A and B are shown apart, each in its own frame.
Chain A
Amino acid sequence: MISVGAGLIALAAGLGVAFAAIGSATAQGRTAAAALDAMWRQPEASGAIQTAMMLALAFMEFLTILVLLVAFMIVGKIG
């Protein structure tokens, strides 16, 4: 039998990751689109653009990863 509290915790974890994923996916999509646009305009600068893009993507990814860790933490509390 699952209690209401456990259900709420699971809901919080799921919703948290979902919202974080929506945010970072939107931001990463915009970043990738801008980078591809820049690469298409100036193919000879591809290397530098790619490096900068990857760093920017990593910073956005990190926020989702943080939420994921918090989600694991609170799911562990259901026990």
Chain B
Amino acid sequence: MATNLYYFLASAASTAEHGASAAGEGGHGAPLFKLFGLDVTAQVTTTWVVMALLILLGWLATRNLKREPHGLQNVMEFVTEALVSFLSSVMGREKARKMMPFLGTLFLFILVSNYSGLIPGAGYVKGFAAPTSVWGVTLGLAICAIVAVQVYGVQKKGIRYFSHLFKPIYLTPINILEEIARPLSLSLRLYGNVFGEETVTLTLLSVVPYVLPMAAMLLGVIFGAVQAIIFTTLTAVYIAMATAEHH
């Protein structure tokens, strides 16, 4: 049943992308060149740019750490502190600080990826498209998140962690199905939002070329941040559930 669902969703995603490219989105999903036999699309190259940007930002901010931060270090400390205090309400401050390297990276990558689709030329310029507007990228992120949940759960409780699948025993199939559904729902939510928002902007653009698409882009600014927060929060909730102590 799960494989059927997978094929259905995969064909949905691919036809959705092809439908949009037929509607006029230039070069969506067409490979630019091959690397080690794998197709490199515009989304992949943009992913590299986002990665380089975040690594450069991290390096610049932590190159010369001071007790009294100013400049870039101040900005990054503010972002980190805001994220920690937000995630503390989900999983507690101690856990939030411990999981921050992973969750913070997820958040920043998704945020910058979503916003890269708002830069003029995204989707039209060769080699430049929002990475989160294809299902492959968001599914990769979701699989990372789910694997991390299992790893943290096993790290915390050992093999005993998997006992939650058999509690209560007659719900075992449902529990296993839930574990499979998690990455699907995480990835499809992010992909559907970014892709849907892009398509709406495109449709409005073809009807009224001026001013009106700005409304959709404004929604894109809000949704880009909200989706990044939701992806991170849901991952944090899953980690908190996996590492919770039962009494």
Contact = CB atoms under 8 A, between A and B. Distances in A.
B193 A54 contact: no
Nearest to A47: B89
Contacts, number: 59
A51 B16 contact: no
B188 A66 contact: yes
Q: What is the size category of the interface that chain B forms with chain A? A: 20 to 34
A69 B226 contact: no
Contact of A54 (B20, B199, B229): B229
Q: B15, B18, B185 — which one has the most chain A CB atoms within 10 A of its CB?
A: B15
Contact of B196 (A47, A65, A77): A65
A76 B188 contact: no
Interface string B44-63: 00000000000000000000
Contacts of A68: 192, 196
B14 to A, nearest CB: 9
B11 interface: yes
B12 A70 contact: yes
B201 interface: no
A72 B20 contact: yes
Q: What is the size category of the interface that chain A forms with chain B? A: 10 to 19
B243 interface: no
B89 A77 contact: no
A76 B17 CA distance: 9
A58 B235 CA distance: 13
Contacts of A4: none
- A-B pairs, top 8 by smallest CB distance, nearest first, are A76-B19, A65-B192, A72-B16, A76-B15, A73-B12, A58-B230, A73-B15, A62-B189
Interface of B: 9, 11-13, 15-16, 18-20, 22, 86, 89-90, 185, 188-189, 192-193, 196, 199, 226, 229-230, 233-234, 237
Interface of A: 47-48, 51, 54-55, 58, 61-62, 65-66, 68-70, 72-73, 75-77, 79
